Chains A and B, each alone.
Chain A
């Protein structure tokens, strides 16, 4: 299944919900709501700030709702992640054209309370900014979201070999950037 959600037809699989178009509204929305924490994690790992991350999440949920008629009843999670990836790529392209977009997220969004180390997250985000959107999405899907290489390939609509080469580049670049920080991460005792 190499195509994104808008292009392919006749995909087979084991639908968890009723077939496309026949989904009960409440269950679609409940299913989407259950995906929000994972989508939020992904959007925040792609975005430049938590505010941007919430904005991207909102865009994604809106898009999923707007396109629900196109959903074919198979794996809502992957479909939503595909949409998120595309939205992120669009934004990234737009941001490259006009780098001063910091005010665009000037909205009142609720950002989750965080318990992690904000300095560490800021550091990681700064290092991730050097990755291309292609390499960054691949790395996040595999490492943070825990998708298999095949699932990642499906979400990104690329061959698995490309997943591997992107992963390799992403790890290499990220290591270089983090090394510039001159901060050595210590392994936590398990």
Chain B
């Protein structure tokens, strides 16, 4: 059997998985794996891991038409100082908390009350993020009802949510309505609205009902790459999600809140 051909070590197993062995050594390792099922299992696991990593990062990062801009120092210089300056200034947790609470208390939340995050509220943010990830990547069927049937969309989703739904107009921020769909939110019928700007960047707004909620709160969830601003207004919860800078997302949430309140 294979034992006579020499010992195969862990480095050989890695090199086998990574395709870094010559033909002879490959044959040695394959013979070894036939005789050592535990090693064969490890190697199979690593291969799957490799594939998942490559799938996750390989396919999508081709050239962009804007890549030329990366090489122009002027563009870089004009864009970046703000971010650079901002880093030390806003990077501490304290500053962030002040920033969010100041924003919430000063501009949005009557009374500035800050109840601790309730499980159902955090769940809304996580559901909103998942819905964003799933639906914004749809190319052909991102929504069930398109923006061309706005009145029908508002009436239909409003009926399922049991409240008069106003579809926010975000054109002042460069986002047009794509449409919406019915989604489960906290185990009940909810709405997901999708918007898109001229560059094709999408954001979603999730609306759900929870009759046990009475307090109002406003939060920013930045646990993942996708940011979510969410707030509870009586029995209705709202969550705006996008993969855009926090301040842009904040502007969107602010606008939505203003319009929802006025409606």
Contact = CB atoms under 8 A, between A and B. Distances in A.
A53 to B, nearest CB: 9
Given A114-B137, A148-B20, A106 B247 contact: yes
Interface in A1-57: 29, 32-33, 36-37, 40-41, 44-45, 48-52, 55, 57
Contacts of B244: 51
Contact of B87 (A32, A101, A113, A178): A101
Interface string A87-131: 000000000001111111111101111111111111011100000
A49 B242 CA distance: 12
Interface residues of A, number: 64
Nearest to A46: B57
Interface in B130-147: 130, 133-134, 136-137
A69 interface: no
Interface in B192-249: 199-201, 222, 224-227, 243-248
Contacts of B58: 41, 144
Interface stretch (B75-83, B101-109, B160-168): B75-83
A41 B61 contact: yes
Contacts of B1: none
Contact of A33 (B14, B68, B80): B68
A28 to B, nearest CB: 10
B71 A32 contact: yes
B61 A100 contact: no
B51 A187 contact: yes
Contact of B245 (A36, A51, A119): A51
B247 A58 contact: no
A65 B71 contact: yes
A168 B247 contact: no
Q: Which of B48, B60, B68, B80 has the most CB of A within 10 A?
A: B60
Contact of A122 (B46, B80, B91, B133): B133
A171 to B, nearest CB: 5
B52 interface: yes
Contacts of B83: 55, 104-107
B86 A104 contact: yes
A71 interface: no
A29 B137 CA distance: 33
B225 A51 contact: yes
Contact of A102 (B63, B64, B200, B222): B222
Nearest to A126: B224
Interface of A: 29, 32-33, 36-37, 40-41, 44-45, 48-52, 55, 57-58, 61-62, 65, 98-108, 110-122, 124-126, 139-140, 142-144, 148-149, 164, 167-168, 171, 174-175, 178, 185, 187-188
26 contacts: A29-B71, A33-B70, A36-B70, A45-B53, A49-B226, A61-B71, A98-B93, A100-B93, A100-B96, A103-B86, A104-B83, A104-B90, A105-B245, A106-B83, A106-B86, A106-B245, A111-B243, A113-B60, A116-B59, A116-B60, A124-B57, A143-B50, A164-B14, A168-B10, A174-B49, A187-B48
